[in-house]
């Protein structure tokens, strides 16, 4: 009789797999650490245990070192599980510890960002495979392992990319990040709809044009000679009204400081307005009203979400700026400042600053955008590129600014066409060649400002849009880092992977005319995992 797998177990299995992978390296290290002591203890107590056993039963009990080691390992399992729970999912360097330990258990050596430092414990796991150690090759030093050969990669990838689930059109490129050499190409220069892998291009342009340390300011100002307070949007989609700001700019802090400044001026009743003039053009994306993207505004709170979510599709406020201003009014009134119903206005250059809050640096916004495939941040980043380069902060201006910034970086733009920053527009066109070139540029030591692109990519089986993928594919888990892309009939994946020899590869796979998104995603995941398990020479 075949017993069907319980639905609850099917749902829990990916989490159980990840927990096992997290705990296993700790168990191994604990067992290895205690084994010498266990051996000595076993040798010391064996005669006493044998005599005691003979006294209570006719047949002697043979106590062996392996048995005691097994007991110690069991105790170590409990200890390691507690240690993992205590330490949490992040270590001091900002790396996900589950990812680090799983990769370390696969005997990978890795880079400076996630490697050892002077305060690293000697018993800590070896660094996870990561970009930094391989990227030193870009500075001219010789890498220690050979790259995969074109012939071997072709044999491996042609078969996987031939999967019918990938539709009628598929293109692919694999590049050795250390040298920039293309190792595999299939329709490399054929432009296709990239879906959300467009965000990689948006991220490169934003970090290049505005800078990784740039912060977006939201202000409250007072018009002189009046009682008009204007809430001025600076284009920060991560501004939050939640009690726990979690490091993002807080509307509550802005309201508290504004109320304090108004009371110092003996004002407890004001006219409240809001200014969104930083952005121009239509607020609605060409796809229209959509739960994946709020109307694009220079002023919004929590991405105009109507629930407590922080990512994913959800109903949005129809007018994000008015929604933010109403919430700001409520916060002011809670501090004893009465306001009128907020309305649109424009702050003058004579206005007096009352208070301001700033977003985290652009690097943090880029990481959040890539990890969660956040469309609201992506469209805000496109407008930041436009503002930094003197263009109109609208859809057309942002698209033109991205194209111009990438051209300035010397990237291969033949066939590329940008219409937005998020990739929601089906008229966007990118090539696999451009996507891998963007990733190689992000790893170039000459462009450290682009590093957040590599660190922000979702990690297979652990984070963001890849957190629920790769559960049944151990070879890619924790080693594939990639931006996903999904539209009806379009499935894409572009990122980096450390192969079996420790070589860092950049890849881009684009598939069009797909009919089963789940099957197409699985086919792309298998292809990326093949690179993780491939020496391919």
> Which tokens hold the place of 413?
């733009």
Identify the CA nearest to 172 among candidates 160, 181, 184.
184
> Is 373 a catalytic site residue?
yes
CA 328 to CA 342: how far, in whole Å? 9
Active-site choice (196, 345, 351, 422):
196
> Is 199 a catalytic site residue?
yes
Q: Which residue has the tokens 């001026």?
A: 265
Neighbour count for residue 489 (Cβ, 10 Å): 18
In contact, 359 and 248? CB cutoff 8 Å: yes
From residue 460, alpha-carbon distances to 9, 16, 52, 468 in Å are: 21, 15, 53, 8
- Residue 48: HSE in the Cβ half-sphere, 13 Å Cα cutoff: 5
Over the Cα atoms of the chain, what is R_g? 28
Phi, psi of 343 (to 5 degrees): -140, 165
> Which tokens hold the place of 194?
């990239």
CA 512 to CA 213: how far, in whole Å? 37
Q: Are strands 228-232 and 217-222 parallel, antiparallel or unpaired?
A: antiparallel
DSSP string, 88-156: -SB-TTS-BHHHHHHHHHTT----STTS--TTS-TTSPPPPP-HHHHHGGGGTPPPSSPPPPHHHHHHH
Q: Are strands 352-358 and 338-339 parallel, antiparallel or unpaired?
A: unpaired
CA 26 to CA 22: how far, in whole Å? 8
Identify the CA nearest to 217 among candidates 358, 78, 100.
358
Length, in residues, of the chain: 537
Phi, psi of 352 (to 5 degrees): -105, 130
In contact, 199 and 280? CB cutoff 8 Å: no
Neighbour count for residue 64 (Cβ, 10 Å): 10
Identify the CA nearest to 220 among candidates 364, 329, 100, 108.
329
From residue 335, alpha-carbon distances to 24, 262, 325, 376 in Å are: 52, 11, 15, 30
Active-site choice (105, 126, 130, 199):
199
What's CA 371's distance to the chain center, in Å?
2
CA 248 to CA 301: how far, in whole Å? 11
Active-site choice (273, 297, 359, 373):
373
> Is 243 a catalytic site residue?
no
Positions marked active-site: 196, 199, 373
């Amino acid at each position: 009789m075949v017993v069907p797998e319980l639905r609850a177990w099917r749902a829990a299995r990916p989490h159980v797999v990840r927990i096992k992978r997290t705990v296993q390296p700790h168990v191994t290290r604990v067992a290895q650490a205690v084994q010498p002591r266990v051996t000595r203890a076993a040798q010391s107590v064996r005669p006493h245990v044998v005599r005691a056993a003979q006294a209570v039963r006719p047949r002697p009990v043979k106590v062996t070192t392996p048995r005691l080691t097994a007991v110690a390992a069991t105790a170590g399992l409990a200890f390691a599980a507690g240690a993992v729970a205590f330490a949490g999912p992040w270590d001091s360097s900002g790396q996900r510890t589950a990812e680090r330990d799983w990769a370390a258990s696969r005997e990978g050596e890795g880079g400076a960002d996630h490697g050892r430092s002077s305060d690293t414990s000697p018993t800590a796991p070896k660094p996870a495979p990561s970009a930094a150690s391989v990227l030193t090759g870009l500075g001219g030093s010789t890498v220690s392992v050979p790259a995969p050969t074109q012939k071997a990669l072709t044999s491996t990838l042609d078969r996987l990319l031939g999967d019918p689930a990938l539709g009628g059109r598929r293109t692919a490129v694999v590049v050795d990040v250390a040298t920039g050499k293309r190792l595999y190409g299939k329709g490399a220069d054929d432009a296709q709809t990239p879906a959300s892998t467009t965000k990689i291009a948006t991220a490169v342009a934003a970090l290049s044009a505005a800078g990784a340390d740039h912060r977006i300011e939201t202000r409250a100002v007072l018009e002189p000679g009046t009682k008009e307070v204007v809430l001025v949007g600076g284009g920060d989609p991560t501004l939050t009204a939640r009690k726990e700001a979690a490091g993002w700019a807080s509307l509550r802090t802005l309201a508290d400081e504004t109320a304090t400044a108004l009371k110092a001026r003996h004002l407890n009743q004001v006219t409240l307005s809001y200014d969104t003039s930083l952005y121009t053009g239509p607020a609605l994306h060409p796809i229209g009203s959509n739960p994946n993207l709020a109307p694009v505004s220079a002023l919004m709170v929590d991405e105009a979400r109507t629930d407590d979510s922080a990512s994913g599709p959800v109903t949005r406020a129809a007018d994000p700026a008015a929604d933010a201003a109403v919430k700001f009014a409520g916060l002011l009134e809670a501090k004893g400042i009465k306001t009128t119903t907020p309305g649109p206005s424009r702050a003058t250059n004579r206005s007096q600053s009352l208070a301001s809050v700033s977003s985290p640096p652009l690097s943090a916004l880029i990481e959040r955008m890539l990890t969660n495939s956040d469309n609201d941040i992506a469209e805000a980043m496109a407008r930041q590129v436009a503002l930094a380069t003197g263009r109109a902060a609208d859809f057309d201006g942002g698209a033109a600014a991205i194209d111009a910034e990438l051209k300035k970086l010397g990237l291969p733009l033949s066939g590329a066409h940008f219409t937005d920053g998020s990739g929601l527009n089906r008229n966007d066109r990118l090539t696999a060649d451009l996507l891998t070139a963007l990733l190689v540029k992000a790893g170039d030591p000459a462009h450290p400002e682009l590093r957040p692109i590599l660190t922000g990519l979702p990690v297979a089986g652990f984070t963001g849009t890849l957190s629920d993928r790769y559960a049944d594919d151990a070879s890619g888990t924790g080693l594939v880092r990639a931006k996903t892309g999904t539209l009806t009939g379009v499935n894409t994946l572009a990122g980096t992977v450390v192969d079996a020899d420790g070589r860092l590869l950049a890849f881009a796979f684009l598939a069009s005319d797909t009919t089963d998104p789940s099957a197409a995603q699985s086919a792309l995941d298998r292809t990326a995992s093949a690179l993780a398990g491939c020496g391919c020479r």
